[in-house]
Structures are given as structure tokens and as C-alpha cells.
């Protein structure tokens, strides 16, 4: 299996080459803290929109910024390794910025994908992608399937609230 983890320079070169060969590039991003069925269904559907799926993974620092000090539960290297094992994910890069906008502008995906838990008007990069002729796809979330719900269930079942 080829290494799906790439720094930005290598990722850009690969994407440019694939695009020159007529491939359609989709881009998504997220924390993917505890991989669950909602994530897997989302990524499979995202991959079905294009020839290539690029996943930008939030770094541990950016997850803490978004989700709070107790997250992530799984470190970025392990999250990336698990995601790389999915055949629907073609490339992974880790980013530390608050949003993936710089990455979106670098890669210039044909399709920008986010989950249905994001209202379209709040999707970072949507205006930019549309400017260069791309489109935005919102994939319905799998209700009740989230890392937060998994954590809540563990607390409920084992009666431990931490702290």
C-alpha cells in the first residue's frame, strides 16, 4: 500500500499530476477523533463524488481549539493511520490552522465536501471553490453517530465522568 500521508508540497504535486490526467479531486476535512460508522459512511459517500479524495485532518492542537482541552482522545498520528487504512481515502495531510482555507486554496479541489452538521453558509472555502468552477457537496450526517455520543455512552455505561 502506498503511503497516503503527505506533506503539503508532495500532496500538491500528486494532485496536480492527477488533475492533468483528468481526475476529479474532492476535499474534506475534520477531526475524526474516534472513527465510527458515521465517519465511514461519510467518507465512502465523499469518495463516490470524485476520482480522488483528499482528507485534511485537524492536528491535535486544532482539535483542542475546536472541541476543548479533553480532546482529541486519539492522537493525530494514530487518527491518520486508521483513516489511511480506509480504501475510500486517497490522501491525508494534517493541518494546524483554525480552518482548512489555505489548504483548499492550495489544492483547488473540484468538489468541497462537508457533513450535514454544517450549514452550507458556514462551510469554509465554499465561495473560493465556486469561483474556480468547483462545487460544494453536503453529505447528510448519520444521526446519533458521533464521537461525543460514544463518549457519553461510555460514561453512562461505566459511570465515570472523569475530571
3-state secondary structure of 132: coil
User: What confidence score (pLDDT) does residue 161 get?
Assistant: 60
3-state secondary structure of 113: strand
Our CA angle for 104, 106, 110, nearest 5°, is 55
Percent of the chain with pLDDT over 70: 96
What pLDDT digit, counting tens, does each position of 110-122 carry?
Answer: 999 999 888 889 9
Residue 118 belongs to some domain of the structure? yes
User: What confidence score (pLDDT) does residue 1 get?
Assistant: 45
Residues paired with 122 in a beta bridge: none
Grid cell at residue 110 = 473540484
User: What confidence score (pLDDT) does residue 26 get?
Assistant: 98
Domain that holds residue 25: 8-158
Residue 163 belongs to some domain of the structure? no
What CATH number did the domain enclosing 75 receive? 3.40.50.620
Q: What is the DSSP letter of 143?
A: T
What pLDDT digit, counting tens, does each position of 33-82 carry?
Answer: 989 999 999 999 999 999 999 999 999 999 999 888 989 999 999 999 99
CA 156 to chain centre: 28
Instruction: Tell me if 63 sits within 8 A of 71, measured CB to CB.
Output: yes
Residue 61 belongs to some domain of the structure? yes
If you compute the radius of gyration of the chain from its CA atoms, what whole number of angstroms results? 16
Domain count, the chain: 1
Percent of the chain with pLDDT over 90: 76
Grid cell at residue 127 = 465561495
Residue 95 belongs to some domain of the structure? yes
> 137 Cβ partners below 8 Å, 6+ apart?
26, 46, 49, 111, 112, 113, 114
Residue 3 belongs to some domain of the structure? no
Residue 2 belongs to some domain of the structure? no
> 48 Cβ partners below 8 Å, 6+ apart?
none
Exposure of 128 in the CB half-sphere (CA atoms within 13 A):
16
Residue 96 belongs to some domain of the structure? yes
Residue corresponding to grid cell 482528507: 55
Our CA angle for 144, 99, 125, nearest 5°, is 90
Amino acid at each position: 500500500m502506498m503511503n497516503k500521508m503527505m506533506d503539503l508540497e508532495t500532496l500538491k504535486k500528486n494532485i496536480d499530476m492527477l488533475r492533468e490526467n483528468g481526475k476529479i479531486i474532492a476535499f474534506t476535512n475534520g477531526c475524526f477523533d474516534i472513527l465510527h460508522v458515521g465517519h465511514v459512511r461519510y467518507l465512502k459517500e465523499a469518495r463516490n463524488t470524485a476520482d480522488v479524495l483528499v482528507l485534511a485532518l485537524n492536528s491535535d492542537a486544532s482539535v483542542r481549539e475546536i472541541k476543548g482541552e479533553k480532546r482529541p482522545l486519539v492522537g493525530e498520528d494514530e487518527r491518520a493511520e486508521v483513516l489511511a487504512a480506509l480504501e475510500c481515502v486517497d490522501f491525508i495531510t494534517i493541518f494546524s490552522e483554525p480552518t482548512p482555507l489555505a489548504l483548499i486554496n492550495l489544492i483547488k479541489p473540484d468538489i468541497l465536501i462537508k457533513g450535514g452538521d454544517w450549514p452550507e453558509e458556514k462551510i469554509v472555502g465554499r465561495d473560493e471553490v465556486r469561483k474556480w468552477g468547483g462545487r460544494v457537496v453536503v453529505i447528510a450526517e448519520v444521526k446519533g453517530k458521533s464521537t461525543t455520543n460514544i463518549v457519553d455512552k461510555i460514561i453512562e455505561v461505566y459511570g465515570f465522568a472523569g475530571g
